[in-house]
Structure 1
Amino acid sequence: MKLLDIVGRLSELDEADTIYVSEPWTENSDAMVAPQPEGALVPAEAAKEGLTYFLEIHIAIEVTEGWVASLKEKPSLSAVCERLIYYATYDA
């Protein structure tokens, strides 16, 4: 699964889960959604795939909704993905 696919399905995902993504983070990076393990930042399955912590689903939804509400037009899925990458890189 790619990060773009996950971003397109944010509203369908469990808000308690976390997004893990391969670096460098782009919309086409390999990604997965999984519960964050207790005592570790990355679940073993994600680490095995070379994925790193990106954002929790509830934070990704909050950031996306807040940003989209400030715009006059609905952004493309690619634009939303870029905004989340920016947030995860500089603001999280």
Structure 2
Amino acid sequence: MKLLDIVGRLSEFDEEDPVYAAEPTIYAAEPWTEDSDAMVLPQQDGVLVPPEAAKEGLAYFLEINLAIEITEALVASQKEKPSISAICERVIYYATYDA
């Protein structure tokens, strides 16, 4: 899956889903772009990158709840809904410079 795909489907990663026993988190291949390979996995205590993500060469990117907050703030600040690509770029910017 690509990072752009995950950003476009953020609402599908419900924290109440039993698949995510802990906070769902995005892991992505660096350098982060919308075309980076990525996956969503539950956070594991004391582990920055779960073995499944590390095996794929992915790094910690951002928790789903933060990506949703960034997306909602961007959408609320615009007159027209931004494209998924624009949203993804804003989420990448946040993960790179503000997280």
Calculate the TM-score normalised by the size of structure 1: 0.97
Q: Could you give the per-residue CA deviations for residues 39-69 of structure 1, whole angstroms, max 9, x where no partner exists?
A: 0111001001000000000010011101110
Q: What is the Cα-based RMSD across aligned positions, in Å?
A: 0.7
Question: Which residue does the alignment assign to 1:9?
Answer: 9
List 4+ stretches of structure 1 deviating above 2 A. Answer: none
Write the distance in 1 (CA, Å) between the matches of 2:73 and 2:90: 11
- Partner of 1:65, secondary structure, is helix
Question: Which residue does the alignment assign to 1:66?
Answer: 73
Equivalent runs, 1:1-92 vs 2, <5 Å: 1-15=1-15, 16-92=23-99
- Partner of 1:54, secondary structure, is strand
Corresponding letter in the other structure for 1:65: E
Write the distance in 2 (CA, Å) between the matches of 1:14 and 1:31: 17
Corresponding letter in the other structure for 2:2: K
Write the distance in 1 (CA, Å) between the matches of 2:33 and 2:25: 17
Write the distance in 1 (CA, Å) between the matches of 2:46 and 2:4: 28
Aligned length: 92
Write the distance in 2 (CA, Å) between the matches of 1:20 and 1:91: 17
Over the matched positions of the two proteins, sequence identity in percent amounts to 77
Corresponding letter in the other structure for 2:40: V
